[in-house]
Chains A and B, each alone.
Chain A
Amino acid sequence: MEGLKRTPLYDEHKNLGARLVDFAGYEMPVQYSGIKTEHEAVRTRAGLFDVSHMGEAVFRGPEAEAAVQRLVTRDVGRLEVGQAGYSAVCYEDGGTVDDVIVYRREDDFLVVVNASNREKDLAHFRENTEDLDVEVADESDEWALLALQGPEAAKLLQDLTDTELSDLKPFRFAWGEIGGAEAIISRTGYTGEDGFEIYLPGGDAPQVWRTLIEAGATPAGLGARDTLRLEAGMCLYGNELDAETTPLEAGISFAVHLDKEQEFIGQAALKEEKEKGLRKKLVGFEMEGRGIARHDHQVTVNDEMVGHVTSGTKSPTLDRAIGLALVDSGVEDRFDVVIRDNPVPAKAVPLPFYKRDRG
Chain B
Amino acid sequence: MNVPDDLKYTKSHEWVRTEGDTATIGITDHAQDELGDIVFVELPEEGATFDAGESFGSVESVKAVSDLYTPLGGEVVEVNSALEDAPEKINEDPYGEGWIVKLRTSEEAELLSPEEYEKVVEEES
Contacts and interface: CB of A to CB of B under 8 A. Distances in A.
Interface of A: 30-31, 34-36, 223, 226-227, 290-292, 294, 313-314, 316, 321, 340
Given A30-B63, A313-B62, A314-B62, A36 B37 contact: yes
Contacts, number: 36
A291 B84 CA distance: 10
B58 interface: yes
A36 B62 contact: yes
B42 interface: yes
Contacts of B42: 290-291, 340
Contacts of B39: 292, 314
B41 to A, nearest CB: 10
B109 interface: no
B58 A340 contact: yes
A223 B65 contact: no
Interface string B25-40: 0000000000011011
B60 interface: yes
A35 B58 contact: no
A292 B63 contact: no
Interface of B: 36-37, 39-40, 42, 58, 60-63, 65, 84
Given A36-B62, A313-B63, A314-B62, 13 more contacts: A34-B37, A35-B61, A36-B37, A223-B36, A223-B62, A226-B63, A291-B42, A292-B40, A292-B60, A294-B65, A316-B62, A321-B40, A340-B58
B88 to A, nearest CB: 9
Contacts of B62: 35-36, 223, 227, 313-314, 316
15 contacts: A30-B63, A31-B36, A34-B36, A34-B37, A35-B37, A223-B36, A223-B63, A227-B62, A290-B42, A292-B39, A292-B40, A313-B63, A321-B40, A340-B42, A340-B58
Most chain A beta-carbon contacts within 10 A, residue among B37, B62, B65: B62
Contacts of A35: 36-37, 61-63
- Chain A facing B: main interface SS: mixed
A314 B62 CA distance: 6
Contacts of B40: 290-292, 314, 321
A31 B61 CA distance: 13
Nearest to B62: A35
Contacts of B65: 292, 294
Nearest to B84: A290
B53 to A, nearest CB: 18
Contacts of A36: 37, 62
A160 to B, nearest CB: 31
Most chain B beta-carbon contacts within 10 A, residue among A34, A290, A314, A316: A314
A67 B120 CA distance: 56
Contacts of A227: 62
A61 B40 CA distance: 54
A30 B37 CA distance: 13
Contacts of B37: 34-36
Most chain A beta-carbon contacts within 10 A, residue among B60, B63, B65: B63
A327 to B, nearest CB: 22
A30 B63 CA distance: 10
A291 B87 CA distance: 13
Contacts of A30: 63
Contacts of B60: 292, 314
Contacts of A313: 62-63
Contacts of B58: 340
Contacts of B63: 30, 35, 223, 226, 313
Nearest to B67: A340
A145 to B, nearest CB: 22
B73 to A, nearest CB: 21
A291 B61 CA distance: 12
B58 to A, nearest CB: 7
A219 to B, nearest CB: 15
A294 B64 CA distance: 9
Contacts of B84: 290
